[in-house]
């Protein structure tokens, strides 16, 4: 990724993130989260993770945040706009930021500072040998393309198959739970 | 630094977006008015042409009224741009742009034609040949819901707000059916690159017309069997595109009889025109996506494409331009189909709309995924497993239909 694109998307993301808490109006805050997510998606795409970047926009920006906005608009916003800053929440927030920073730095300190190999023809065709001959992934890798969608699918359905099934059941339970709870309330 | 590739990209963006797609928007407005006039046995706008009488000629050159869209655009430009005092200004100004821009950004992954070749240098007629084409279109198109929602909310008045809320609920509901319905298609092609998908259809037959093949390795039988899930996917996808573009019979967000004008009631002049253009641009992009995925994109079909690619004029291979014309012909035909549906099918009620999305299309698309997977995997499986799969699929379908019926029996009024 060219460095100026990295700085562009990082700036977009940081401006979005800061304005989430700076704005008084919840709708503005929600839109700032959207800006932040778009910047994040740009960073993913810059790292050649096209699928993750697009899914970031499709799921978080296009669906989750729209639902957030939908709910916020149906609420009465008068109280939110006149709230005052109390010390306790701010202090808790600062402590949380501190904990996250410590976690981040410890992870970075543990990671070996090795340069990742460039995604050129040689690296990709060397990686092709670990996949079945004549499969889509192997042929794409030999041609020097990165079939990221196929790779993610392959990893999900072989290495993490059980996790995927369990997650599916969990989501189904959550969905049914929400439906049954909301039905009980209306009766 | 080499500037030629950047110049080529800029040229592609200007030509494909502003010379080909944007003029399709006023053109489809013109088609809409003329076609609706034919359906309702009226004449329609057929007068606005080149006013030769102004320059002393005996008669005007009416040109079938084709200058009408230009006159409409001019009128909208010259109208007063009025901002009501009660709106939330920033969002009110942002909303029209948020509706139009996503539709135009999605143009960049649509393959408009095959490769043009000048002096042995190939130029693909697509702005960005991304490996995630359909997903990119969905993700960017899903952003246009913000424009409509914000327009409704920032207008700060009741009917636009209801229009915006309706639109949000509708678009989120149908995005699920939209995404699920193309999974069989992507399973069949095994690729997410729209250029490759069209090339595959040019070589092996369109998804909905699989009757020719350049090599004999693919048997007709398996392709004909796959025609059924493909047709179901096509039906769900097309109807969902209707709902996503807020077109009749799903134009509940701007239902005049209930909501005055819907989310754009408080807008005037070019801001209103941008919503209008956004809607039509979404229709153009939706049609091109349907044509690309199901009807062969730029391919002429019947095995003619490899001959068209051979046409050349010296070292200038112009087959791509013929393919571009074929693609535009298909897209305009599909736009005419959109218009035909608008003027023949009456508007749905909102609960019917939600039911169609969540109870019918969602389940049908899910079952269709399993059906397509079974058909595609069948050549590699044993007979017993195929039978078990088919029986399970049949039982699943019956169960889903039974649940849908059972949920219908005791209609309860939902109280908020």
Per residue in B8-30, pLDDT (tens digit) is: 888 888 888 888 888 888 888 88
pLDDT of residue B413: 60
Contacts of residue B145 in chain A, CB cutoff 8 Å?
A: 62, 66
CA of A31 vs chain B CAs: smallest distance (Å): 9
CA of A62 vs chain B CAs: smallest distance (Å): 5
User: How do strand B113-118 and strand B121-125 relate by DSSP bridges?
Assistant: antiparallel
Contacts of residue A23 in chain B, CB cutoff 8 Å?
A: none
Q: B86 exposed, middle or buried (CB, 10 Å; 0-12, 13-18, 19+)?
A: exposed
Q: What is the average pLDDT across A160-175? A: 93
Place of tokens 């562009």: A8
pLDDT band at B49 (very low <50, low <70, confident <90, very high): confident
pLDDT of residue A168: 93
Alpha-carbon span B303 to B296, nearest angstrom: 12
Interface test with B, best of A28, A33, A70 (most B CBs within 10 A): A70
Choose the closest CB to A66 out of B145, B161, B191.
Answer: B145
Q: What is the average pLDDT across B179-188? A: 88
pLDDT for residue B174 is more than 80: yes
Interface of A with B (CB under 8 A): 27, 31, 34, 50-51, 54-55, 57-58, 61-63, 66-67, 69-70, 73-74, 136, 145, 147-149, 186
The torsion angles phi and psi of B122, rounded to 5 degrees, stand at -80, 140
Alpha-carbon span B324 to B321, nearest angstrom: 5
Q: A136, B146: Cβ pair inside 8 Å?
A: no
CB B25 within 8 A of CB B283: no
SS3 B354: helix
Alpha-carbon span A94 to A98, nearest angstrom: 6
Number of H helices, E strands in chain A: 10, 0
Choose the closest CB to B168 out of A50, A55, A70.
Answer: A70
Question: What's the sign of the alpha-carbon dihedral B73, B79, B80, B82?
Answer: negative
The torsion angles phi and psi of B113, rounded to 5 degrees, stand at -170, 175
Q: A50, B131: Cβ pair inside 8 Å?
A: yes
Choose the closest CB to B138 out of A31, A58, A148.
Answer: A58
pLDDT for residue A103 is more than 70: yes
* pLDDT tens digits, one per residue of B311-334: 777 777 777 788 888 888 999 998
Q: B412, A186: Cβ pair inside 8 Å?
A: yes
Interface test with B, best of A62, A64, A74, A187 (most B CBs within 10 A): A62
Provide the β-strand partners of residue B123: B116
Q: In terms of pLDDT, which residue wins out, B67 or A133?
A: B67
SS3 B356: helix
Contacts of residue B92 in chain A, CB cutoff 8 Å?
A: none
Poorest-pLDDT segment among A146-160, B83-97, B214-228: B214-228
Q: What is the average pLDDT across A137-147? A: 76
Interface test with A, best of B146, B165, B167 (most A CBs within 10 A): B146
Q: What is the average pLDDT across B181-203? A: 85
| B18 token code pair | 């502003």
| B63 token code pair | 């040109």
Q: In terms of pLDDT, which residue wins out, B119 or B126?
A: B126
pLDDT for residue B210 is more than 80: no
Q: A99 exposed, middle or buried (CB, 10 Å; 0-12, 13-18, 19+)?
A: exposed
pLDDT of residue B9: 82
pLDDT of residue A83: 65
pLDDT for residue B411 is more than 60: no
Contacts of residue B132 in chain A, CB cutoff 8 Å?
A: 50-51, 54, 149
pLDDT of residue A177: 92
Helix/strand/coil percentages in chain B, nearest 5:
70, 5, 30
A–B CB contacts, 8 A cutoff, strictly below = 70
pLDDT of residue B27: 86
pLDDT for residue B408 is more than 60: yes
Domain ranges in chain B are 84-350
What length does chain B have? 416
Choose the closest CB to A27 out of B140, B153, B161.
Answer: B153
Contacts of residue B135 in chain A, CB cutoff 8 Å?
A: 51, 54-55, 58
pLDDT of residue B221: 66
pLDDT for residue B226 is more than 60: yes
Q: What is the average pLDDT across A40-51? A: 86
What length does chain A have? 187
Number of H helices, E strands in chain B: 17, 3
Place of tokens 């699918």: A153
pLDDT of residue A170: 95
Tell me the domains of chain A and their CATH numbers: 1-77 (1.20.120.1200)
Q: What is the average pLDDT across B191-208? A: 82
* pLDDT tens digits, one per residue of B238-283: 998 888 887 777 777 676 667 767 777 888 878 888 888 888 888 8
pLDDT band at B176 (very low <50, low <70, confident <90, very high): confident
The DSSP symbol for B253 reads G
Contacts of residue A136 in chain B, CB cutoff 8 Å?
A: 190-191
pLDDT of residue A169: 95
Poorest-pLDDT segment among A98-102, A113-117, B363-367: A113-117
């Amino acid at each position: 990724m060219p460095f100026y694109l990295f700085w562009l998307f990082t700036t977009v993301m940081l401006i979005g993130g800061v304005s989430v808490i700076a704005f008084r109006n919840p709708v503005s805050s929600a839109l700032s989260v959207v800006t932040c997510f778009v910047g994040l998606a740009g960073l993913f795409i810059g790292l050649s993770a096209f699928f993750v970047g697009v899914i970031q926009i499709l799921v978080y920006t296009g669906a989750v945040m729209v639902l957030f906005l939908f709910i916020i608009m149906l609420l009465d916003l008068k109280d939110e706009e006149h709230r005052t800053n109390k010390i306790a929440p701010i202090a808790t927030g600062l402590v949380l930021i501190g904990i996250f920073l410590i976690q981040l730095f410890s992870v970075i300190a543990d990671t070996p500072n090795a340069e990742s190999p460039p995604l050129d023809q040689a690296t990709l065709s060397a990686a092709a040998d670990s996949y079945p001959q004549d499969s889509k992934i192997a042929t794409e890798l030999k041609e020097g393309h990165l079939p990221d969608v196929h790779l993610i699918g392959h990893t999900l359905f072989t290495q993490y198959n059980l996790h995927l099934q369990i997650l599916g059941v969990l989501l189904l339970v959550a969905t049914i739970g929400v439906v049954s709870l909301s039905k009980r309330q209306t009766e | 630094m080499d500037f030629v590739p950047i110049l080529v990209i800029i040229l592609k963006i200007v030509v494909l977006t502003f010379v080909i797609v944007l003029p399709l928007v006023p053109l489809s407005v013109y088609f809409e008015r003329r076609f609706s006039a034919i359906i309702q046995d009226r004449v329609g706008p057929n007068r606005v042409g080149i006013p030769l009488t102004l320059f002393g000629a005996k008669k005007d050159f009416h040109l079938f009224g084709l200058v009408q869209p230009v006159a409409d655009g001019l009128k909208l430009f010259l109208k007063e741009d009025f901002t009501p005092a009660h709106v939330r200004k920033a969002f009110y100004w942002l909303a029209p742009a948020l509706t139009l821009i996503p539709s135009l950004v999605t143009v960049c992954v649509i393959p408009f034609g095959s490769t043009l070749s000048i002096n042995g240098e190939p130029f693909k007629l697509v702005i960005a040949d991304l490996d995630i084409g359909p997903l990119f279109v969905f993700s960017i198109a899903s952003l246009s819901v913000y424009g409509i929602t914000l327009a409704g909310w920032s207008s700060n008045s009741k009917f636009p707000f209801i229009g915006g809320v309706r639109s949000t609920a509708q678009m989120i509901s149908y995005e699920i059916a939209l995404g699920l319905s193309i999974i069989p298609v992507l399973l069949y092609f095994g690729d997410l690159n729209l250029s490759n998908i069209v090339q595959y259809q040019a070589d092996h037959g369109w998804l909905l017309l699989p009757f020719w093949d350049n090599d004999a390795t693919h048997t007709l039988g398996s392709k004909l069997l796959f025609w059924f899930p493909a047709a179901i996917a096509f039906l769900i996808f097309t109807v969902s595109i209707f709902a996503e573009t807020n077109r009749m019979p799903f134009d509940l967000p701007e239902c005049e009889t209930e909501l005055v004008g819907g989310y754009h009631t408080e807008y005037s002049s070019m801001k209103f025109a941008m919503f209008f253009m956004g809607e039509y641009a979404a229709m153009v992009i939706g049609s091109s996506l349907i044509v690309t995925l199901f009807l062969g994109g730029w391919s002429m079909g019947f095995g003619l494409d490899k001959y068209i690619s051979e046409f050349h004029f010296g070292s200038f291979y112009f087959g791509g331009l013929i393919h571009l014309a074929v693609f535009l012909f298909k897209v305009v035909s599909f736009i005419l189909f959109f218009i035909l549906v608008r003027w023949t099918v009456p508007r749905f009620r909102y609960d019917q709309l939600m039911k169609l999305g969540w109870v019918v299309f969602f389940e049908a698309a899910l079952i269709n995924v399993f059906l397509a997977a079974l058909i595609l995997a069948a050549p590699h499986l044993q007979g017993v497993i195929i039978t078990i799969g088919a029986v399970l699929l049949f039982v699943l379908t019956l169960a889903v239909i039974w649940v849908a019926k059972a949920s219908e029996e005791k209609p309860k009024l939902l109280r908020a």
